[in-house]
Amino acid sequence: MSKTALIPIADGSEEIEAVTIIDVLRRAGVEVTVAAVNSGKSLQIRGAHGLEITADCSLDNCTDKPWDLIAVPGGIPGAEHLADSQPLEILLRTQVQQGKLFAAICAAPALVLGSKGLLQEKIATGHPMFQQNLDAKELNSESRVVVDGNCITSQGPGTALDFALELVEQLCGLVKREEVSSPMVLTTSATAYY
């Protein structure tokens, strides 16, 4: 049975982060669901830089399903919209309570996870502009990607590929990460583990 991942997106989500996460997880054979978080019923969102992305469904259709991973892209005002989503907060709290993987990149560690108290027991990172608002047990500002138990955080658009590959490793193992990264002609980068 394949692993499942939920990627919520909203108007203003950072396109590089969202698309990289979706693409890399799908290359690994993960069943990815892209869910629109918006006030209407439209599945179309406009990213932070004007790119139109069509979600698979509304987040409202995802609330009664279990997920192996929930990964939240950043971007402004996308992360703010995601932070305002009550259904997403419930999903994330359930994920944390069940000890399942949850992840965020860029502004999302601070605005989505930290603002809900979901990082209080975690070492985390985020975009340098939001690190002072992280509200985590400890900030790791040196590492591009930080893994602390079931929580994975990363710094921003330039770290999106490292972040997505770490998500693959955490979900599917190191061998699958290498299978996915090798054809991409990548070099290895450092990840901090706690």
Report, as residue numbers or ranges, the catalytic residues: 106
Residues 6+ apart with CB under 8 A from 39: none
> Which residue from 180, 127, 194 is spatially nearest to 20, judged by alpha carbons?
180
Residue 64, classified by CB atoms within 10 Å of its CB into exposed (0-12), middle (13-18) or buried (19+), is exposed
Partner residues linked to 6 by β-bridges = 33, 70
> Which residue from 45, 104, 34, 112 is spatially nearest to 79, judged by alpha carbons?
112
Q: Give the β-pairing of 101-105 and 69-72.
A: parallel
> Which residue from 76, 50, 67 is spatially nearest to 103, judged by alpha carbons?
67
Amino acid at 159: T
